[in-house]
A and B are shown apart, each in its own frame.
Chain A
Amino acid sequence: MKKATNWKWLILSLAMAAVLFVGLGEGALASDNILIVAKDTEAEGFDPHTVPAASSIQIYSRIYEGLVGFNSAGEIVPELAESWEILDDTTYKFNLRQGVKFHNGREMTSADVKYSFERMIDPDVASLARSYFDMVEEIETPDDYTVIFHLDGPFADFMINIGHTYARIVPQEVIDEHGDLMNVAVGTGPFQLAEWVPDNYTLLTAFEDYWQEGIPRVDGVRYLIMEDESAQMAAIRTGHAHITDISPEGARILQGRPGVNVVEYPSFDYTYLAFNVTEPPFDNPKVRLALSYALDRELLAQVVYDGYARVTGPVPPSQEVWAVDISEYPSYETNPARARELLQEAGYNNDLSFTITSSPAYPWLVDTAVMVQEQLAGVGVDVEIKMVEWGTYIDTWINRTHQAMVGRNGAGSTPERALYFFFHTNGGANVWGFSDERFDELVEKARVVVDQGERAAIYAEAQKLLVNELAPNLFLNSPSQFYIASEDIEGFEPTPYMSEGLFPYITIEN
């Protein structure tokens, strides 16, 4: 009898083993024409007006649309507005596309546009988009397909802001029913939200009544949450996912492997060494400039990003027409002698020491801090690195309890954000306590100049002033970003202006 039991167990375990390995070796994607995207962070809800998390934007940007959008070259292109006219400095008229349907089947009209922008501006909604549209005085809707914006003064970046990810057109009845758009999503975009199982997957399906014929080319997008990068890479290689974004190290490992395409493109991000400019020793611009001479930014790019990064000023080189060439920044020349000289002028003789706050949340934050420490040691500056958890890091940054810190900014697609937002005395992200009248004047002037050439000249002056004299931050590297895609993916060529926005245009070859 005992014998019989043993046999039963053996057979059972063999059967289980057989079951487990059925399908081994076969990648077997769930459905053939569904694009499968591995992402490392779960969305934090889908309300385009209130959620700034990149993990959410990735998804709601496929569901909602704005009046205008950007193409791969960063030019403004029609989206829900078929055309627009700038009637004068403060009046913008948009002619809406006719017959555009929301995912609930209702036609989108000028009333929806008016409602959406008023929702963004409403203080009770606490929308992030509010600061982008606080110059809007009135929105007029003469008929169902015309919207006119009246501004309280000229604002050069208005069209850019209209194309912003947050400036999406939403249907009022859905918000009236659910209170907000956190867990429901009804837009006009190429994909609609079919299923959201938090931490497991999000399924978008193609919207059949989408206004653009033949788009999207896939039947849907399935986002899978995979936090671990080695798991992401394995999933792409074994055919369980088509696309994922990836770190430079991951990209280097997979470079040249068969079956996988590594796609590199420049970003609008840059790393920086920031100072608390309200307290010694960094209230003295000479000290800040001295440190700039002590750094070797090219070497930083090599070590921190394996060379997949460019040396940058406050406006990254990827903002092509706006960025000043780094040859115009004398302090970008590594010159320890000049650094020591400036430090001496400021009263330091091999006795400057300070703390850099960084966080182990990202490898490049750690590497940048360590490299800066090492390079500054070369001119007799003693740096201590303080590593803090991410939440504490953000606290430090907001409350300015640091002496210096390394970090990474998203400079956006225009200098308005790269310069005004971070460094104007009243800039929304000026947490450095930095203030300079000449600089403020320049970026204020550029805000209202509509001619691009004239504007670029003013911004160039502001950038040179910022880097060559004021140095509130030392701008370091603008890293590349990477996607890996399986080789059956066609039509995915991301640029800094357009990456996952290309999903509706992708085809999967079988």
Chain B
Amino acid sequence: MEIREYIIKRILALIPLTLGITFLVFVAINFVPGDPVRIFLGIEGTEELAEQIRQQLGLDQPLLFRYFHWLGQLLQGDLGYSLLTRLPVSYELATRFMVTMQLAFFGMIFSVSLALPIGIASAIRQNTVSDFFIRIFALIGVSIPNFALGVLLILFLSNVFNWHPPIGFVNIWNNPVMALQILVLPVIALGTGMAGSVSRMTRSAMLEVLRQDYIRTARSKGLPERLIIYRHAFRNALIPILTLVGLQLGYLLGGAVIVEQIFSLPGLGRLLLTGIHNRDYPVVMGCVLVIAIVFALVNTVVDILYTFVDPRIKYQ
């Protein structure tokens, strides 16, 4: 009962939050120098022609008027049209949304399923050779930028194995084999950094918990070590890890912008980047709206998960 109330409250709180974000972004992108019509026309076309096109697109209206016009349409479920392609923004977003979500989802699965075991292993074998290597790996993972790793992966596989992932994107339920082939390298490039930081967090949280009295008690009761690690220690170490994973998901969405670029994936990040480059205001606004909502939702979900992981946590 109380958790339902909490969820509703959180979701209602999203509304002013996203509105605030859209307003800030709208003002910011409009104050960035650069005129979409001029970028579109390049060296072609006179100022007269540019003015005509501005009128066609409604760009000659004052800033606030345009924002509230955009907002009014948004309330009717209309995100407007791209200034360049004249495609509906909702269509542009729909075709990209699943790409980025799949990338981020698999990136998270990859990094968590790698980071948790090695983080735990590293903690229970503290200061051994394997701990040393895992820590080195984690350090490299955290340090290497995802774009560098991406390019290195492409160059390595194409030069040594003459292999390149298929280009473009197919949905995982249409063609799972090809989808996984396409996603494997970007997922590694995107997830490695997160794997590094999550494994470091897992290690330190585990070490912390393993020093607690109740672990000593459990050991002295003669419980099997496996049970101690997984049921007593890991579960208690999970809260800080969960917080980090939630935050890192946000970074995954950000990192996806660059990784999509390198691996030619038609995702939201790429749409946003081209949108900013071309000052395609409606597209930028649409992307920001979607990303802000996803980010806020993920954090809400993480907060709710706390109550399942640690029943002592209650929300009022």
Query: Could you tell me which A residues sit within 8 Å of B by CB distance?
Result: 2, 16, 19-20, 22-25, 38, 42-45, 52-53, 123, 126, 128, 130-131, 180, 182-183, 197-201, 224-228, 230-231, 234-235, 237-238, 240-241, 389-392, 394-395, 398, 409-410, 428-429
Contact = CB atoms under 8 A, between A and B. Distances in A.
Contact of A230 (B87, B151, B162, B176): B151
B264 A128 contact: no
B162 A126 contact: no
A126 B274 CA distance: 24
B309 interface: no
Interface string B61-100: 0000000000000000000000011110000100110000
Contact of A225 (B39, B87, B264): B264
A237 B164 CA distance: 9
B44 A52 contact: yes
Given A19-B177, A130-B49, A197-B266, A238 B44 contact: no
Contacts of B33: 389, 391-392, 395
Given A2-B226, A128-B41, A238-B162, A224 B266 contact: no
Interface of B: 32-35, 38-47, 49, 52-53, 56, 84-87, 92, 95-96, 151, 154-155, 158, 161-164, 166-169, 176-177, 180-181, 184, 226, 261-264, 266-267, 270-271, 274, 277-279
B162 A235 contact: no
Contacts of B168: 200-201, 224-225
Contact of A44 (B35, B85, B181): B85
A389 B87 CA distance: 26
A180 B57 CA distance: 14
Contacts of A228: 151, 154, 261-264
Contacts of A200: 95, 168-169, 266
Contacts of B96: 199
B40 A44 contact: yes
Given A126-B53, A183-B85, A391-B279, A25 B95 contact: no
B38 A390 contact: no
A198 B266 CA distance: 8
Contacts of A38: 167
B45 A428 contact: yes
Given A131-B46, A240-B167, A395-B38, 7 more contacts: A25-B161, A183-B86, A234-B154, A237-B164, A390-B34, A398-B38, A429-B43
B82 to A, nearest CB: 9
Most B CB atoms within 10 A — which of A16, A25, A231, A428?
A231
A270 B261 CA distance: 29
B95 A20 contact: no
Contacts of A52: 40-42, 44-45
Contact of A20 (B32, B47, B184, B271): B184
Contacts of A128: 41, 44-45, 49
A395 B34 contact: yes
B39 A390 contact: yes
Contact of A234 (B34, B47, B155, B266): B155
Nearest to B92: A198
A287 B196 CA distance: 58
Contact of A25 (B34, B163, B184): B163
Nearest to B165: A240
A271 B79 CA distance: 40
Contacts of A227: 261-262, 264, 270
A398 B266 CA distance: 32
Nearest to A237: B158
A230 B155 contact: yes
A224 B39 contact: no
Contacts of B169: 200
Contacts of B35: 391, 394-395, 398
A164 B32 CA distance: 35
B85 A45 contact: yes
A143 B42 CA distance: 39
Nearest to B226: A2
Contacts of B158: 234, 237-238
Contact of A226 (B163, B167, B180, B278): B167
A128 B184 CA distance: 44
Contacts of B46: 131, 428
Contacts of B278: 44
21 contacts: A25-B162, A44-B85, A45-B86, A52-B44, A128-B49, A198-B85, A224-B168, A228-B151, A231-B264, A234-B164, A237-B158, A237-B162, A238-B158, A238-B164, A392-B33, A394-B35, A394-B38, A394-B39, A395-B34, A398-B38, A429-B43
A228 B169 CA distance: 16
Given A198-B266, A224-B167, A238-B158, A389 B34 contact: yes
Given A38-B167, A44-B84, A237-B162, A410 B43 contact: yes
A269 to B, nearest CB: 11
Contacts of A240: 164, 166-167
